[in-house]
Chains A and B, each alone.
Chain A
Amino acid sequence: KKQKVLAMPSTRKLARELGVVITQVTATGEHGRITADDVKKFAEGGSTKSA
């Protein structure tokens, strides 16, 4: 089954820019949405490719 990533296009772009694989990010937004903050936190907290 393909799991849809629930994140706005700008958030998905942010994830790419920060070198974050968005499917690994824990979502805190409603209905399982990944927010920009989720992506930033993931990048700060141990992403190997953070900028």
Chain B
Amino acid sequence: MVVGDLAQEVDVLVIGAGPGGYVAAARAAQLGRSVTIVDKDELGGVCLNRGCIPSKAIITAGERFAQMKEAEEIGLEVTGEVAVNMQKLMDWKNSVVKKLTGGVGQLMKGNKVEVVTGDVFFNAKDAVRVVSENASQTYKYQDIIIATGSRPFELKILPFDGKRILSSTEALNLQEVPKKLVVVGGGYIGLELGTAYAKLGAEVTILEGTKSLLPGTDDKLTRIVSRKLKKIGVEVITDAMVQGGENKGEEVVVKATVNGEEKEFTADYCLVAVGRKPNTDEIGLEQIGVELDDRGFIKIDDQCRTSVEHIYAIGDCAGGALLAHKASYEGKVAAEVIAGQKSAIDYQAMPFVIFSDPEIAYTGLTEAQAKEEGYNPVATRYSFQANGRALSMNQSEGFAQVVADKETGLLLGVQIVGPEASSLIAEAAFAIEMGALAEDLSLTIHAHPTLPETIMEAADSLVLRLNK
């Protein structure tokens, strides 16, 4: 059982092998440190195993299936039945996950990062104990990066049972398409999975506690998505306060108050996606004095330092936007700071993406945020209805909107709802990082016919409205 107390010594220990942790480990190793990474599960963390990647695979399957059913619109007659083979779909999704986690394994190997499986507990400020099934080992480190991530937030009145009442994790591993699915929470996770399963044939109801779907997202963008949800038969009920629910064996009954009225929703599955909470409560942080905020996120400075010297934190467990790319970015910063470089969290434009139908993506400031920051903003939209590529894809819902400062023309933000918005936003983030003017976007030749022309066109109209 317990191996001798001889501690292993490493330069850098990374706890958690998600997109923050593995990028941090690789970068620290590239900068000449001896690195050990510990995770209690598979490499790749939530994003690869039960988050971004599997959800996008299922979304793709739903999208392709829906397109086949609509193929007649563009003259493709599908004769015979188009059916979903859920077993095969899940096998394919799992194979995608496996390829990517295998890739992370190769990345660790290639950078000579030692990979250890086990639970981590802080013994002291400079040592942790790693407990695996049949062994326990103390590691002494010079620096440590905490990248323990987050987990689905559980409602006390509707606890996960993994069978009928699901977190996103189980919702990504269903062996059948639900006949009826009730989604509690209209944030991006609930919306993405709800949409995907609706396209695969489920009757989906989304219960959102606030007055709008995707709280926190510009409602001009959300409106287009709501319209499409209606079209594909997803019922969205806002101001719905869930009171509880019960697994009745073959089905689940969810109770909610909607406009003061008690209502019951019966379905074969209920997905609870009301948020995520940081994994900072079971590793002994309180004993070594690492400060948390009131929601349990680790407090960090702009170099990913916690309140304790030599202890760094990145990604979801350190709060802010809970995004994989934000975690990876911080992973590099932390590793570089440990290696003595003067890196810092310093970005102008974080891209936000929701894989809804159509996709939503935005970066920088909205018109309202720009006003709050003291700019005199002007915003111009260009519709995908006027974009040749979008029309020829038969996906012309939505628009791209460009926000700039009226006096200087400085590009402040871009919001997109429409096909491939998730890819289109990269140009916008780059432009903002480079300090581009809206005019710079309009003077850049965009290939025709392509979707990014929409951004150029929006910028083009915006330039005409500037004070010159």
Contacts and interface: CB of A to CB of B under 8 A. Distances in A.
Contacts of A12: 346
Nearest to A22: B346
Contacts of B433: 8-9
A23 to B, nearest CB: 12
A4 B346 CA distance: 12
B348 interface: yes
Given A8-B433, A9-B433, A16 B373 contact: no
A19 B344 CA distance: 12
Given A1-B374, A2-B373, A31-B408, A16 B344 contact: yes
Contact of A7 (B374, B408, B435): B435
Contacts of B410: 4, 6, 31
A8 B348 CA distance: 10
Interface in A9-25: 9, 12-13, 16-17, 19
Nearest to B405: A4
B434 interface: yes
Contacts of A4: 348, 410
B435 A6 contact: yes
Given A1-B374, A2-B373, A8 B343 contact: no
A1 B405 CA distance: 14
A41 interface: no
B468 interface: no
A8 B434 contact: yes
A22 to B, nearest CB: 9
B324 interface: no
A12 B342 CA distance: 11
Contacts of B373: 1-2
A16 B343 contact: yes
Contacts of A6: 410, 435
B437 interface: yes
A12 B373 CA distance: 21
B260 to A, nearest CB: 41
A42 B408 CA distance: 25
B342 A19 contact: yes
Interface in B58-103: none
Given A6-B410, A17-B342, A31 B434 contact: no
B161 to A, nearest CB: 46
A16 B435 CA distance: 18
Given A8-B435, A31-B408, A31-B437, A2 B374 contact: yes
A7 B346 CA distance: 11
Nearest to B346: A12
Contacts of B344: 16
Interface in B303-361: 341-344, 346-348
Q: 9 closest A-B pairs (Cβ-Cβ)?
A: A1-B374, A6-B435, A16-B342, A9-B433, A2-B373, A17-B342, A8-B434, A12-B346, A33-B435
26 contacts: A1-B373, A1-B374, A4-B348, A4-B410, A6-B410, A6-B435, A7-B435, A8-B433, A8-B434, A8-B435, A9-B346, A9-B347, A9-B433, A9-B434, A12-B346, A13-B346, A16-B343, A16-B346, A17-B341, A17-B342, A19-B342, A31-B408, A31-B409, A31-B410, A31-B437, A32-B408
